[in-house]
Amino acid sequence: MKTIVIIGCGSGIGLETTKVLLENYHVIGISRTKNPELDDINLTFYERDVLSGTIDDITFPDIIDGLVYAPGSINLKPFNRLSEEDFSRDFTINVLGAVKCIQKLLPNLKKSGNGSIVLYSSVAAKTGMPFHTSVSASKCAVEGLTRSLAAEFSVQKIRCNAIAPSLTDTPLASQLLSTPEKREASAKRHPLQRIGNAVEIAGLTSFLLSDDASWITGQIFGIDGGLSTIKL
């Protein structure tokens, strides 16, 4: 059975992806808290904060077949209200945390022969949106990281792709979807007239980790209800 490491498995997209993957993989889940929904023989869980702490004390299997880095941020403010600390924190969560985990697990991924890394960007990296300056800047960095790593790791047969969702119904987005009026307004912004859900993102994540995606690397996949490419 192949082994997948998921950083941020306790909530949102990371949680749903973990639940999907447990059907076919041994999953090593790392999160600040363990979700009670995760109770499976195929799960090995470690309670860690990868941003403030370390995963150097974890003994990983010699071969890791996939790595998913799910932590993210939604920090929406007018530009003049964003501090340098806002930009620094968003970059740390979205980029530096991923870098730390990839560097730690790279020797294990190299031994897979068909390793796969999945990161998460945002529709805001491609489509300019007001109040998204900080998160957009960090997610653009995620997309650059994805393509650069895909090129560099191709020799080791490690694929690297990213998924760029629009607004998705997760705890991270709860303040943006806290009333029926907010939900309706958000849905109407998308050509498909609804917001996304974490199960949909988990499905694509699972595909990109699988052997069925063995000729896909360096790609950014939009799951955004058409928001980034369609104007009605």
Q: Are 28 and 6 in contact (CB under 8 A)?
A: yes
Which long-range contacts (C-beta less than 8 Å, at least 24 apart) are formed by 73-76?
73/135, 73/138, 73/172, 74/135, 74/172, 74/173, 74/176, 75/134, 75/135, 76/131, 76/132, 76/135, 76/176
How does residue 190 score in pLDDT terms, banded at 50, 70 and 90?
Answer: confident
Q: Residue 84, exposed/middle/buried by CB under 10 A (0-12, 13-18, 19+)?
A: exposed
- Give all domains of the chain, ordered by start, each with its CATH number: 3-222 (3.40.50.720)
Instruction: Answer yes or no: is pLDDT of 75 > 80.
Output: yes
DSSP one-letter code for 92: I
**How far apart (Å, rounded) are the C-alpha atoms in residues 59 and 118?**
22
- pLDDT level of residue 188 (50, 70, 90 thresholds): confident
Render pLDDT for 97-156 as a digit per residue (tens, 0 to 9): 999 999 999 999 999 999 999 999 999 999 898 999 999 999 999 999 999 999 999 999
Per DSSP, the three-state class of 232 is coil
- Using pLDDT thresholds of 50, 70 and 90, give the confidence band for residue 184: confident
Percent of the chain at pLDDT exceeding 90: 77
Q: What is the pLDDT of residues 192-226, one digit of tens each?
A: 999 889 999 999 999 999 999 999 999 999 999 99
Sign of CA dihedral 226, 214, 18, 139: negative
153, containing H or E segment: helix 133-153
